[in-house]
Structure 1
Amino acid sequence: MASWRIRDYHAEDIDGILSLWEQLSRDGAEAVYGLSEVLASCAKDHAVVAVSGEQIVGAAVGRAAHAQGWVVFLATATGFGGGGLGSSLLAALEVRMAPHGISKLSALIPATETKVDDFLSQGFELKQDLHYLERHIPVQGNELKRLAELGGRVLPRGLWDAVGGMAAEKQLLERRVVLPLAQSDLAERFGVVPPRAIVLFGPPGTGKTTFAKAIASRLEWSFVEVFPSRLAAHAGGLAGALRETFASIAELEHAVVFIDEVEEIASHRQGEPPSPTQGVTNELLKIIPAFREQPGRLLICATNFIRSLDAAFLRHGRFDYVIPIGLPDGMAREAIWRRYIPEAAVGVDVAELVAVSEGFSPADIEFAARKASQSALENAVDSGAAEPQGPFMADYTTAIAGTRATVSAQVAADFLEDIETVGRM
C-alpha cells in the first residue's frame, strides 16, 4: 500500500487540487460545490492535503459559517482511495476546524458519490432520502482551550476497535461502563445509574491505560490524565493541585479522567503524625463524591498493586466497579502478535508464537515483536542483499527467548486471588 502523510494546505498546492478536481471530472463525479468555491475555500477557509513523496494524493476542504461547518471538497487520487485515506483527511480537517467554534460538521454530496463510507467511518450520520451527512463535534470552541490547559486531548475514533483480543474484558467494559454512559436516556428508563468511577487493576503492562483511552475514544469524551508527579510542584502542594485540577475538569461538558498508578496517592494511611501522603489521600477521598455528582464524567483509576490501596478508597459509594485486567489469553495474544507482524514477514507461524509467549503481557509481546523487527532490519542491512527479506520466524523466536516476562508466577497468582477478594464487576 502506498504511504502518505497529511499536512495543512499551502498556496503552492493549487496544482494538486486542480489535478484531483480533473480526476473527479474524468470519473464522471458530480460536484455540489464549483471549482471556484473550492479554490476560494482553500485560500481563506480550511484545507488539508495528503502527500506521497512530492505528489498531492488527497485533499479535504472545509468552510465554516458560525457554528456550522461544511465539507466542500473531498478527493483522493487514483490508487490511494483505500487504507482509510478519506477518513483520515476528514479527521484532520475536523481537528483544524473545531477550535473555530463549529458545533456541527456537515457534507452534502451527490447520490452517486462513492465516498459515503469515508464519512460514516468518521462518525457522520447519513440522513434519510439524501446523502446529507453531519457530525456533531464532541468538544468545541472554548472547551478545547480549557482541555489544552489541563493537558487533555480528544482521542481519535477507533481506539476501542483497535484493542486486540481481550474479548472478555472488552465485553465487560462495554456492557457495564460504556453502554449506560453512551445511552444514558435508555439506561435511566431501565433504572440503571451510569457509573461515575471505576478502578482497573492487574499486573503491569496488561493494557489498563489502553482501555482507559479506548473508553474515552468510544464515548468521544475529552480525555484528561492526571499525573500526581507533575502536580507535586504546585505551590499549594499535591492536595491543592488535585483540588484545582478537578475544579477545572468540572468546566468540561464530558470527560474521562484517568489516574494511573493511583496507589501513589491513595495508599494505606498509617502512622503518627499523619504524613503528607495521608493528606493527599484524604483530599482525593473528598474529591470523588463531589466528582460523582457531576453528569458526563467518568473517573478511571488504575493500579498494579491493589493491595496497597487504602481500604476506604475502594468502598462502595466511591467506585462502581473494580475490574481486573489480566494477562491476554491465546486469542488476545494472537490478535496482538498480528498487529505487530509486518506484511513482509516470511514463514512466521503465529500459532507457535502464541504458544511460546504464554504468560506475556501485551507490553511484553510488543517489545518482542519490535525487537524481532529491529534484528531483522540489521541482518538485512549487514547481508548486503539486493532484495533483503524478513523478518523470519527465527527473529521472533530469538526475540521471545530474550524477553523476560514482566509478570512473575507469584504476581499472576496474587492477581487471581485479588479478583476473588476485591473484584467488583
Structure 2
Amino acid sequence: MTTWRIRDFHPSDLDGILRLWGAMTSSGIEPVYSLSEVLASCQADYAAVALHGDDVIGAAVARAAHEQGWIVFLATLPEWRSRGIGTALLSALEHRMAPLGLTKLSALMPDTETRVDAFLNRGFKDVKNLRFFERQIPVQRAELGPLAQLGGRVLPRDLWENVAGMRREKQLLERRLVLPLAEAELADEFGVVPPRAVVLFGPPGTGKTTFAKAIASRLEWPFVEVFPSRLAGDSEGLAGALRRTFTEIAELEHAVVFLDEVEEIASHRAGDPPSPMQGVTNELLKIIPAFREQSGRLLVCATNFIRALDSAFLRHGRFDYVVPIGLPDAEARRAMWQRFIPEAVLGNVNVDLLVARTEGFSPADIEFAARSASQRALEKAVYAPIGGASVAADGGASAAADAGEVPAVSDLAGRGPTGTGANGRRGPSTEDYLEAIAETKTTVSEEVAAAFLEDIEQLARV
C-alpha cells in the first residue's frame, strides 16, 4: 500500500517546490531551468505534486510549445526516491496534457542527474549525441511596453564588429565601459565600480552616435535615444519632460541612454535673471546623480562642442569618463574603404591611394565619397557613350542621345559598361573614387581639428 498520492499543483504548494529545489541543488545537481521559470510554470502551465500527508515530497512541472511538451522540473526528496514517485508524476503530467494533442514530450536533464529510471519507465528514450544550447533574451516581455513607449529598441548584435577601423577608440571603450558592465561580478572582485555615465566628444561626423549604438549592441542592452528637441513642446516643459523620461527609463532592467548634442541643454549658465534653459541644465544636473544610483544602465552624452558645456556638468562624480572620438587614422581609413568598396572590384582599386587622399576625412566623409563613387560608376555604366556614340539595346546608334534625351534604363540593360574590372565584374574604379574624393567637402576644418587636440589635452578623462 502506497503512503503517498498524486494531485494537481495548488498555490499553497510553493513552499514544497522550494524545498525540493533546495534538496536538488544542495546535492550538486544544477537544474537546466531556473527557479523563476519553474515557479512561473507551476502557476501558468502544468504541474503535479506527490504528497505524503500534507507534505510535498515530489513534483513534476511541464509546459507546451506548439505540438511539443517540455518537462521543466522533476524532483523527489532523497528519502522518497526509488519508490516509483517520479514515474507516477510523469504519468500524471502526460495525462493532464493529453487534450493538447502533443506529438512529443521531451525533457532536458543535467549531466549529474542520475534519476533516469522515471523517464525510461514512461517510455522516454535517452537520445545520444545531443548538445543543449541556450541564449538569454536581453529584453524581457514585461519591458517591451515601456521600451516602445520610450522609442527605444534592441540593436543588432554585430554593430560593434561593423565599426570599421577606429581600433584605439574601440579598445578604450571595450576596456573602460563594456568590460566592467558586461562582467559586473568579475569587476566587483577587483574593486572596479562599473561606469554609469560617459561623455563622447569630438568634431562632427566622427562617429559618436555610431559608437553609442555599438556599445549598446556589444552589451545587448536596449538603446534609448532622448531627443530634447522633441521634449521641448511637452506641456510640462523641457525640464519636466526630461524628468519624466528618466523616470520611465528606470522601469527598464538595462539600458544605454543616449543624449546627442548635449550642449544644447547643458551649456554654460549665465545671466540674471536665470533663463529657462538654465532651469533645464539644473534639472539635468539633478537627474544624472539619481541615474547613477541605478545599476544596469549607462548614460552616453555626445557633443561636438565640449567647451560649451557648463563646468559643473563635467565635474567628477557625474561622468566617469570623457572620451575623445577623433578623425580616423590611416589604419581606420583603410578598414573603412575596404568595407565600402564592392568586393568584386576591391582587388582592382588602389586602396593605398584612397587612404592617402582622405587624410582629414571623417568616417561620414569617407562613406559619402564611397557612395558618390558608386553612383557615378553606375551612371557611367548605363549612360556613357561607347566609341563616341551611345548604344541602344539593338546595338545601333541612339538618335535620342543626340537629341538630348536620356534613354530608358531598360533599353541599356545589355550594354558592356565602362568600369568593368579585369574579372569582368562591374563596379567603380580607382578613378571614380578619386573624383568623388576631390569633390567631397570635408566636415572638419583644420581649425576645428586643432581645437579638438587642445580639448583632448584640457578636458579628456580616460
For 1:407, the aligned partner's letter is: V
Confirm whether residue 239 of structure 1 aligns to residue 239 of structure 2: yes
Q: 1:344–1:257: structure 2 CA closer, same or farther, 3 Å change rule?
A: same
Query: What SS does structure 2 have at the residue aligned with 1:396?
Result: helix
Show the counterpart of 1:406.
Answer: 443
Show the counterpart of 1:86.
Answer: none
**Separation in 2, partners of 1:410, 1:226:** 30
Query: What SS does structure 1 have at the residue aligned with 2:327?
Result: coil
Structure 1 residue 64: Cα displacement: 6.7
Structure 1 residue 63: Cα displacement: 4.6
Q: 1:217–1:63: structure 2 CA closer, same or farther, 3 Å change rule?
A: farther
Query: What SS does structure 1 have at the residue aligned with 2:199?
Result: strand
Q: Which runs of 5 or more structure 2 residues have no equivalent in the other structure?
A: 1-63, 71-106, 109-128, 385-411, 421-426
**Separation in 2, partners of 1:321, 1:158:** 25
For 2:355, the aligned partner's letter is: V
Of 429, 433, 436, the residue aligned with 1:392 is: 429
Any idea what the Cα deviations from partners look like across 1:166-206, whole Å, max 9, x if unmatched? 01101100111100000000101100000000000000000
Show the counterpart of 2:354.
Answer: 353
**Separation in 2, partners of 1:393, 1:133:** 46
Q: Is the 8 A contact 2:197 2:300 kept in 1?
A: yes
Show the counterpart of 1:369.
Answer: 370
Please list, as runs of the form range in 1=range in 2, the aligned pairs for 1:186-225 lying within 5 A after superposition: 186-225=186-225
Query: What SS does structure 1 have at the residue aligned with 2:339?
Result: helix
Query: What SS does structure 2 have at the residue aligned with 1:194?
Result: coil
**Separation in 1, partners of 2:344, 2:195:** 44
Show the counterpart of 2:177.
Answer: 177
The count of aligned residue pairs is 307
Q: Is the 8 A contact 1:231 1:242 kept in 2?
A: yes
**Separation in 2, partners of 1:63, 1:306:** 53
Show the counterpart of 2:305.
Answer: 305
* TM-score with structure 2 setting the length: 0.64
Show the counterpart of 1:132.
Answer: 132
- After superposition, the CA RMSD in angstroms is 2.2
Confirm whether residue 289 of structure 1 aligns to residue 305 of structure 2: no
Deviant stretches of 4+, over 2 Å:
62-66, 343-347, 383-390
Any idea what the Cα deviations from partners look like across 1:68-115, whole Å, max 9, x if unmatched? 9xxxxxxxxxxxxxxxxxxxxxxxxxxxxxxxxxxxxxx99xxxxxxx
Show the counterpart of 1:415.
Answer: 452
Structure 1 residue 386: Cα displacement: 2.2
Q: 1:405–1:64: structure 2 CA closer, same or farther, 3 Å change rule?
A: farther
Q: Which runs of 5 or more structure 1 residues have no equivalent in the other structure?
A: 1-61, 69-106, 109-128
**Separation in 2, partners of 1:137, 1:387:** 50
Query: What SS does structure 2 have at the residue aligned with 1:278?
Result: helix
Q: Is the 8 A contact 2:382 2:415 kept in 1?
A: no
Q: Is the 8 A contact 1:263 1:303 kept in 2?
A: yes
For 1:258, the aligned partner's letter is: F
Query: What SS does structure 1 have at the residue aligned with 2:352?
Result: helix
For 2:175, the aligned partner's letter is: R
Q: 1:348–1:136: structure 2 CA closer, same or farther, 3 Å change rule?
A: same
For 2:247, the aligned partner's letter is: A
Query: What SS does structure 2 have at the residue aligned with 1:420?
Result: helix
Query: What SS does structure 1 have at the residue aligned with 2:138?
Result: coil
Q: 1:65–1:407: structure 2 CA closer, same or farther, 3 Å change rule?
A: farther
Please list, as runs of the form range in 1=range in 2, the aligned pairs for 1:142-153 lying within 5 A after superposition: 142-153=142-153
Query: What SS does structure 1 have at the residue aligned with 2:133?
Result: strand
**Separation in 1, partners of 2:237, 2:145:** 25
Q: Is the 8 A contact 2:239 2:283 kept in 1?
A: yes
**Separation in 1, partners of 2:433, 2:188:** 50
Q: Is the 8 A contact 1:344 1:391 kept in 2?
A: no
Percentage of matched positions with identical amino acids:
72
Show the counterpart of 1:262.
Answer: 262
* TM-score with structure 1 setting the length: 0.70
For 1:172, the aligned partner's letter is: L
Q: 1:378–1:198: structure 2 CA closer, same or farther, 3 Å change rule?
A: same
**Separation in 2, partners of 1:257, 1:333:** 28
Query: What SS does structure 1 have at the residue aligned with 2:135?
Result: strand
Q: 1:278–1:208: structure 2 CA closer, same or farther, 3 Å change rule?
A: same
Q: Whose radius of gyration is greater, 1 or 2? A: 2
For 2:437, the aligned partner's letter is: I
**Separation in 1, partners of 2:151, 2:142:** 14
Q: Is the 8 A contact 1:166 1:332 kept in 2?
A: yes
For 2:379, the aligned partner's letter is: E
**Separation in 1, partners of 2:211, 2:361:** 18
Q: Is the 8 A contact 2:256 2:299 kept in 1?
A: yes
Query: What SS does structure 2 have at the residue aligned with 1:195?
Result: coil
Structure 1 residue 259: Cα displacement: 0.3
Q: Is the 8 A contact 2:205 2:443 kept in 1?
A: yes
Structure 1 residue 393: Cα displacement: 1.0
Any idea what the Cα deviations from partners look like across 1:317-344, whole Å, max 9, x if unmatched? 0000000000000010011111111123
For 1:182, the aligned partner's letter is: A
